[in-house]
Amino acid sequence: MLDRIDALPLHRRMDDDIHRTTRKSGERAAREERLAKALRDNLRRRKEQARAQEQLGLPQSKEPRSGGEPTA
């Protein structure tokens, strides 16, 4: 049955799926790395801002930010 001509495209599709999966996992890893770096940079920036406000004597808000959503 494998000697039929229509069996070949199936194997090619499976091979393409393997390459696509490998590429997607690489893309996913790169995205996760970018997000992790962005989170670290954001944390570093917030700490710098907190230190600067502390030096100026500005009061720190103890409440977590609501994310910009109005409260009802």
State the DSSP string of the chain.
Answer: -TTSTTHHHHHHHHHHHHHHHHHHHHHHHHHHHHHHHHHHHHHHHHHHHHHHHHHHTPPPP-SPP--SPPP-
Domain ranges of the chain: 1-56
Q: What is the pLDDT of residue 3?
A: 56
Q: What is the pTM of this model?
A: 0.49
Amino acid at 61: S
Greater confidence (18 vs 71) lies with 18
Per-residue pLDDT reduced to its tens digit, 30-67: 999 999 999 999 999 999 999 999 988 866 666 556 65
Please check whether residue 52 is in contact with residue 45, taking contact to mean a CB–CB distance below 8 angstroms: no
Token code pair at residue 43:
């944390």
